[in-house]
Amino acid sequence: MPAVSMKDTIRQAAIDLFYRKGYFAASISEIAAASGIRKASLYHHYESKEALLFAILKETMDDLMAHLEACLKGIEEIEARMRAAVRGHVQFHLRRQKENFIANSELRGLTEAHYQAVVHRRDAYERVFQEIIGTGRRQGVFAPGDDKILSYAILTLCTAGASWFKPDGRLSVDEIAEIYENFIISGLKRAEGITGAVIADVSASAVRA
C-alpha cells in the first residue's frame, strides 16, 4: 500500500482549506486541486462535501477524548488531575491546531444527525472537566463556583490558544500549557482577599439591545 492514501491526502487538503478559508468558502474543486485530482474523483473517496467535514470532525473529537483519558490515567489527586487535563487539552489543541479550529467553528456545516454526533462527543469531553471541578469544589480544594461555567471558561481559554499559537514562535507548547495551568489553578482556588463584592454596573447606556 502507498505511504499515504488518497483518502488521507484529501483529508489533509480539506483541513488546510477549511482552516484557511472556512467550510463554505472552500470549494470541492479547490480541495481536489490541492490533492492532485479532479473534483469528480474526489467523490470516489467521500460521498459529499459534508461527509468530508464530518469525517474530520468526528475523528478529531475521538482523538481528543482518547488523549484526555491517556493524560488522566492513574492520576488520583484532584489538583494534579486538573493540571493534567488542562495540559492535555492545550497540547492537543496546539499540536493539531487546524482541525481543532475547524471543530470549534464549522459545526454549522453539518447535517442535523452529524451535528448531534459531534456535539454529544463534545459534551462527554466537557463532562470530564466538570467532574474534576465539582470534586475539587466538594473536597474544598477549589473555591465555590459554577461547575459548568467554569468548565466552559477553562476549555475556551485553552482552545483559544490555538488561534494565535505559532509553532516556531517565542513560546513552546509546554511553556504555554504551564502558563494556563497556573492561571486556571489559581482561578479555581481563588486568591486571598477576593470577596465577590459586586461593583457598580457602569454605563449600560453605551450598550444597545
Size of the site for DNA (CB under 7 A): 18
Sign of CA dihedral 102, 108, 113, 115: positive
Ranges within 140-179 binding a copy of itself (CB under 8 A): 143, 145-146, 149-150, 152-153, 156-157, 160-161, 163-164, 171, 174, 176, 178-179
Q: From the CB of 125, what's the least distance to DNA, in Å?
A: 28
Burial 139-170 (b: 16+ CB within 10 A, else e): eeebeebebeebbeebbebbbebbeebeeeee
Q: Does 41 bind a copy of itself (CB under 8 A)?
A: no
Q: Which amino acid, residue 84? A: A
DSSP 125-185: HHHHHHHHHHHHHHTTSS-S--HHHHHHHHHHHHHHHHHH--TTSSS-HHHHHHHHHHHHH
With CB under 5 to 8 Å by kind, the binding choice for 113 among DNA, a copy of itself, none is none
Cα dihedral 38, 44, 50, 54, rounded to 10, equals: -120
The vertex-86 CA angle with 85 and 90, nearest 5°, equals 120
Q: From the CB of 188, what's the least distance to a copy of itself, in Å?
A: 8
| Window of 30-38, 83-91, 92-100, 179-187 that interacts with DNA by CB under 7 A | 30-38
Report the alpha-carbon distance of residue 102 to residue 105 in Å, rounded. Answer: 5
Q: From the CB of 115, what's the least distance to DNA, in Å?
A: 16
Q: Does 124 bind a copy of itself (CB under 8 A)?
A: no
| Overall residue count recorded for the chain in this entry | 209
Q: What are the grid coordinates assigned to 109, written together?
A: 456545516
Closer residue to a copy of itself in complex, CB, 41/182: 182
Q: Does 95 bind a copy of itself (CB under 8 A)?
A: yes
Q: Does 49 bind DNA (CB under 7 A)?
A: yes
Residues that bind DNA (CB under 7 A): 6, 26-30, 37-41, 43-45, 47-50
Applying CB under 8 A, which residues contact a copy of itself? 20-22, 24-25, 63, 66-67, 70-71, 80, 83-84, 87-88, 91-92, 95-96, 105, 108-109, 143, 145-146, 149-150, 152-153, 156-157, 160-161, 163-164, 171, 174, 176, 178-180, 182-194, 196, 198-199, 201-209
